[in-house]
Amino acid sequence: MSNYEFDFSSVSPVDQKDIKELDRRISDFQRGKEDTERFRLYRLTRGVYGQRQEGVQMFRLKLPYGRINSEQLVRIADVSDRYATGNLHITTRQNVQLHYVKLANSPKVWTELAQLNLTAREACGNTVRNFTGSPTAGIDPNEPFDVSPYVEASFQYFLRNPICQEMGRKIKIAFSSSDADSAFTYFHDYGFIPRMQVVDGVEQRGFKVLVGGGLGAQSITGLLAYEFLPEDQIIPFMEAGLRVFDRYGEREKRMKARMKFLIQKLGFEAWMELVKQEWKALKNKSVAIDHNLVPEQAPLGTGIIPADVKPVDEHWYNEWLRTNTFEQKQKGYYGVYVRIVLGDLPSHKARALAAVIKAYAADDIRFTINQGILLKFIRPEALPLWFNELHKLGLALPGADSTADITACPGTDTCALGVTNSTGLSNILEELIREEYPDLIDEKFFKIKISGCMNACGQHMAANLGFHGSSFKHGDLVIPAMQVVLGGGVAPDGRGFIADKIVKVPTKRIPDVVRYVLDDFEKNGLEGEYYNDYFLRQGDKYFYTLLKPLADLKTMTQEEYFDWGQDHLYKQEIGVGECAGVMLDMVGVILKDAVEKIAAAREALEQSQWSDAIYSSYSAFVVAAKGMLLSKDVKCNTQKGVIDDFQTHYVESGDYTEMGNFAELVLQINQYEPEENFASDYVTQAEHFVNSVIALREAQLETSNGIDKKVVGDYYRA
């Protein structure tokens, strides 16, 4: 353990346990007692993510639907000053990231955040990631009801839930407040849009449900699972689907390890049938949602608004008022968007903003999906005052959520996977829009998004005009480039589109790409036509021909060999992504992991958590069986494959004689209700199995002079 004295005042017992464990594991790692790759897989699930720069980490919070209060905002700013760079980076998943954090300081960071009920648990790694939601939830004039309590309930239900701690890949879930789909549910593993339905004369709440969407190198639009799923069924449906994903999902080929590919592989109807089969094993067949879980925030500020307050710049104020504010469904109150360029909010501005919020708004801040901030319950007479206060902070830029409000991931600034500089390009394009296309600060349905690589953290495939980092080989040199994509995003009627790849262009020519695309639409688009409909009408070949001259490398200039923000020749430096990687491990260590699963199952039994005990036991069966298969060089890429292959290579071969059918034993998990008697029996059976295979492994080692076998870690991820 470190010598750091933790101040656990106001820190929940579960957070205390997490923080102490993280501190211990860091100490073990630094003393060489824990393998680098094993430690990496662990720390990612605690929000600690390696940067491009050696020796420092990115620390990510997990903020469901981007909700935070002023006291928490100040605490994050203070923590950033002490342990990071004094900057708060708002992400496209409504989180906050702190950069350049020393590994040893991450438990200190978490402790100080946990004192105000903030967590980093499952912010990264192969877990259920942050639940995103429309920032306008609760004040949206078009919402059937406030989805905030549903997002909060789902977040609480799956946090630390055994079924989603060690999956093959991450799961992303979104809730939109209305059919406008402002949370982009269509490209998530699970997407929920609120619905009202009359049943027996009674109006009931529910959700339209989409599944299997995703961005990245192979972007896919989600499939319709339900037109209306009653509100008490959304969490059970998610849990059943996660169980299927955990058991059948790919674990070897990282690029195929998402829910969208599993549904493609199995077929949608077969996947839904497997989900149905899991229903009996669910902890809860129905989960009622407390509609007051997230209380409606009325204005709490006590600040006195001067009667004669005037905006410091009348013209700018009128633009800001038109583009950054809207009347809430609660008449007489306004929502105000604050543009945060590149999502970077300096700590001193965060503290100043928090002070104004406490005085003149509801203490319910929402980080937005386009890396900004939404403030709620602002009285109309306070709008000039708000503009002046934001103007002092340099945060009164008009054009929120418009073409001028460009989304960009950090790219090569901090990310090991970044290919080209997305932030430098974003600054150039924002300046271009302001100077050459000023009318577009009012345009809400043409979005520009930039990612530093194809993994889509900047959500470029959900943009009408998007870019992702790439490169050209040109003679002996490498040219920084951007892949141009067109036709993604959400239409005014809520239709979701995935962009099409058009052409790759040197990154220094991207401003001309923007000019070509905007000028072409201005010249040839129909009156009132949505851009994606125009794109479909013209066809991708039309746009390839339009932009192809910009891809001609025969006209390269010296400057085009430099990336944005560089004064030297471009050199591609791509690291290993933190969710990928191969590790070497010993079979014996894998079996110890199975023992730890049994310990967790026993602990859950003692606490009468029958379902959790059963799932931990199931994991122990699979981990132990996989370890033994790897001792024979049998490599499996799904949990179901492990179960079937253990039957073939151990039971049927006669190497393991203590059972007749391994699959029947393990898959009892979805044959029985999660009750005390079955949980007790199943834990006992799993414990016996783990102990017996450990004995078998010890016998194997006697014939190999006690030398344990190293295996490839990607196959180990049970």
Question: pLDDT tens digits for 601-620?
Answer: 999 999 999 999 999 999 99
- What's the pTM? 0.92
pLDDT recorded at residue 556: 86
Confidence of residue 716 (pLDDT cuts 50, 70, 90): very low
- Give the mean model confidence (pLDDT) for residues 141-149: 97
User: Whole-angstrom Cα distance, residue 559 to residue 164?
Assistant: 48
Query: At 290, phi and psi to the nearest 5?
Result: -75, 110
Task: Give the residue from 394, 415, 226 showing the smallest Cα distance to 316.
Answer: 394
pLDDT of 581 higher than 60? no
For helices 676-702 and 610-631, angle between their N-to-C axes, nearest 10 degrees: 20
Would you list the DSSP string of 244-268?
HHHHHS--SSGGG-SHHHHHHHH-H
Q: pLDDT tens, 27-69?
A: 999 999 888 878 888 999 999 998 888 889 999 999 999 999 9
User: Whole-angstrom Cα distance, residue 433 to residue 404?
Assistant: 6
Contact 456, 255 (CB under 8 A): no
Domains delineated in the chain: 13-64+93-281 (3.30.413.10), 314-392 (3.30.70.3340), 407-561 (3.30.413.10), 584-716 (1.20.120.330)
Q: pLDDT tens, 259-301?
A: 999 999 999 999 999 999 999 999 999 999 999 999 876 666 6
Cβ-count burial 104-132 (b if 16+ within 10 Å, e if not): ebbbbbbbbbbbbebbbbbbbbbbbbbbb
